[in-house]
Structures are given as structure tokens and as C-alpha cells.
Amino acid sequence: MTKNPILIVEDLTKRFGSGEQEVSVLKGIDLTIAAGEMVALLGPSGSGKSTLLNILGTLMRATGGRHEMLGTDLFAASDAERTRFRSTRLGFVFQFHHLLSDLSALENVMMPAAAAAGRETHAMRERAKDLLDAVGLADRRDYRPAAPSGGQRQRVAVARALINQPALVLADEPTGNLDRESSDRVMELLLSLNGETQTSFLISTHDEYIAARCHRRLNILDGKMLEGRAER
């Protein structure tokens, strides 16, 4: 039993289509993540990694099972409740940075908080500055996404994921588009932020090197979970 769990998933299933066309992508996933834990999720393409991340991020609803986070039953919650939960308790880092091209780096970092509040505040701006400092981009605050390098853009995306002080950051192949050097920098950054903020991370990756640096690794294969503990 994981101590102090923030996320509990039991017998989670996800099916697409119906009748003869029905495809079962997740087939009874059990998973818990503790506060401050950094977990790697490994599996081949088509194993169900992205679907699981989408469900855990409330971007997609499971077909069945238990999905509870911080005491909230996200399986039963309404769309509006899930949107609110997502905006305050979850952070996302994607393989492609997906920064808004019309906003500066600082404004991109503030975006999730401002979207939830309906306006930008001084406190948000200060926190976004701190986060950009933390990811080593203090001098890139006013840059538009087109200007910085791929690694820098991904670091902005990491800072953006943390603006709302989420309990869990879901990272889907966060280094998948980066060269080894940039990949290492981003991973170092995630590890240090995890240590400093006690934010939990679930990182989907193909990279064994990345998985080896996490507290724990989960292997998913054909929609089923095979759990194992990583050495650090």
C-alpha cells in the first residue's frame, strides 16, 4: 500500500467504439501515486500510456473503475467539476510544448492560473517569474515561443505546469522531441522541482535512462499494468 496516496485508481477500464468495433484499451488498471513521488510510465506504442494519462488528467473519462484524487471522485464528477479540478490540482507537460504563440514566455507560464481566475494578478506574475528563474529562463521572460530553442520551450512548459502548484504533474514524453543534452537538462529540472516542491510526477516515456532516475517505474502492456520499483 502506497503511503499518503494522492491518486487512487482501481480496476480502471477504457473502451472505444461499440459492438464488433469495440476496442478495449485499458483493461483493469490499478495504480496509486503518493505525494512527492516521481513515477515513470513505460510501455510500447499502443500499450495505453497516453490514454491512461488523458484519463488521469481528466481530459478523457474512463469507461469503468475507480478514479479518485485528493478525495475527489473524478469518475463521477461533472465536466465542469473536472475542468475546475484540472485547472487547480493538475499540471501537464506534453511531448510538444504547445505554448501559445501570441503570448510571451512569462504570460504562457501564467496562462493556466489566469484562465482559472479570469485575470492576471501581481501574485501570479511574481510566481511565474520565480518559476522561470527556477527553470533557468529568467532572461527569457519576454520571448515569444518562436524565439527560444526546443529545450527552452519545454522548460517554459514545465514552469507553466507548476504555476497552480498542482498536486500531480502528468508529463507525456516530455523529452521525446529533445536532443540528449536538452533532455538531460529537462529531466534534471523535473527532479529538482520534485525535490523542492514535493509535487508528484507521472512521466510517460520510452527512455530507460529517464525511467531509471524516477522513484518508481510502471510498465504498461496491452492495457494492463506490470509494476516494478526503480533503483535510484
Partner 1 sequence: MPLYALKLAIRHLLAHRGQTSLLVAGVALGVSVFVFMSALIGGLAELLTARTVGSIPHIVLEAAEHGPQSSWGGDAAQIVRQKDLGRRDQIPVWEPLIEVIERTPNVTAVSPQIAGGAFIERGQAVEPVSVVGVMPDRLTAIADIAGAIVSGGGDLPPDGILVGSRLADDLDLRVGQVIRIASDRGRSRSLRVQGIFTLGIGSADRQTAYVNFTAARALFDLLTGVTRIEIKVSPATRADGIAAQLHRSTGLDAIPWTRENSQLFEGLDAQARTGLIIKTFALVTIVVGIASAMLLSIARRQAEIGIMRAMGASKTLVVTIYLIEGTLLGVAGGLMGASLAWLALLPFPPVDDVQVGALPIDRAQGDFLLAILLTSLAAMLASLLPARRAAQIDPVDAIGT
Tell me which residues touch partner 1 (CB under 8 A).
Answer: 50, 53-54, 57, 59-60, 80, 83-84, 86-88, 90, 92, 94-96, 98, 100-103, 111-112, 114-120, 160, 164, 172
Quote the least distance from Cβ 115 to partner 1, whole Å: 4
Quote the least distance from Cβ 46 to partner 1, whole Å: 14
Q: Whose Cβ is closer to partner 1: residue 4's or residue 101's?
A: 101
Quote the least distance from Cβ 67 to partner 1, whole Å: 16
Q: Are 106 and 129 in contact (CB under 8 A)?
A: yes
Q: Whose Cβ is closer to partner 1: residue 96's or residue 209's?
A: 96
Residue 61 three-state SS: coil
Q: Are 72 and 85 in contact (CB under 8 A)?
A: yes
How many other CB atoms sit within 10 Å of the CB of residue 109?
31
For 165, residues 6+ apart whose C-beta sits below 8 A from its C-beta are 197, 199
Q: Whose Cβ is closer to partner 1: residue 114's or residue 210's?
A: 114
Q: Whose Cβ is closer to partner 1: residue 164's or residue 205's?
A: 164
How many other CB atoms sit within 10 Å of the CB of residue 209?
12
Asked whether the CA dihedral 66, 67, 70, 72 is positive or negative, the reply is negative
Quote the least distance from Cβ 177 to partner 1, whole Å: 13
Q: Whose Cβ is closer to partner 1: residue 119's or residue 122's?
A: 119
What is the 3-class SS of 76-121, one letter each residue? CCCHHHHHHHHHHHEEEECCCCCCCCCCCHHHHHHHHHHHHHCCCC
Residue 29 three-state SS: strand
Quote the least distance from Cβ 98 to partner 1, whole Å: 4
Quote the least distance from Cβ 114 to partner 1, whole Å: 5
Q: Whose Cβ is closer to partner 1: residue 111's or residue 220's?
A: 111
The cell numbers describing 78, all together, are 461533472
